Amino acid sequence: MPAKSMRRDTDGSPSPGDAVAASFSVEILTGRDAFLALKPEWDALFTRAGLPQQLFQRHAFLRHWCDHYLPAGDRLCLVVGRESGRLVMLWPLERRRRLGLELVRLMGAPVAQFGDILVEPGPRREYWLERGWEALRRHGIDLVELRLVRADAALAHCGRLTLVAPVVSQE
């Protein structure tokens, strides 16, 4: 069963009559309850799409990270993409307000050695990634902080990486 969204945004950008585009939706889930409710779908997506170096994007790892490292006042921000109802893309982020800016960064810092998102491979992968960036923009994100993103990461291959919001990256 899909997680309940505290803040939901369905992708409204498909072209008229484009049934393929209409089968994809993206939403922003927030809060620990939504994070915990995603576990079965998250684990299934990791089984289908996770790579060995993405072990820091496993739900179990990030659950422990939330328990011990999520600073007070920070908010979980999960960009969830579904194709015909099935989870195909997941961006595990935390949202902060710093110096008047809305910032998101990958969950897992400072203990995760690598940061990335989970996305199924396939011909629609770039489309899904673009919709994820658009969802962040629509939700008022001013800055995306990406640390320790490998050259072979899913995020490293997104053509719109810097077109939606300024990105700060550190290797």
Q: Say how many domains are in the chain.
A: 1
Find the mean pLDDT for residues 32-46. Answer: 95
Report the phi/psi class of residue 130: left, alpha or beta, with left for phi > 0 and alpha for psi in -120 to 50: alpha
Cα distance between residue 87 and residue 67, in whole Å: 24
Specify if 94 maps to a domain.
Answer: yes
| Average pLDDT score over residue span 160-171 | 49
pTM assigned to the model? 0.79
Mean pLDDT of the chain: 80
pLDDT at 15: 44
- On whether the CB atoms of residues 27 and 135 are closer than 8 A, the answer is yes
Size of the chain in residues? 171
Residue 36, domain member (yes or no): yes
pLDDT in tens, 80-132: 999 999 999 999 999 988 888 888 988 987 887 778 889 999 899 889 998 99
* pLDDT at site 19: 55
Query: Which domain range does residue 105 map to?
Result: 19-170
Looking at residue 73, the DSSP 8-state letter turns out to be T
Whether the predicted pLDDT of 56 surpasses 80: yes
- Residue 50 scores a pLDDT above 70: yes
Residue 110: predicted pLDDT: 81
**Residue 7 resides in a domain:** no
What is the model's pLDDT at position 77?
Answer: 94
Give the CATH number for residue 81: 3.40.630
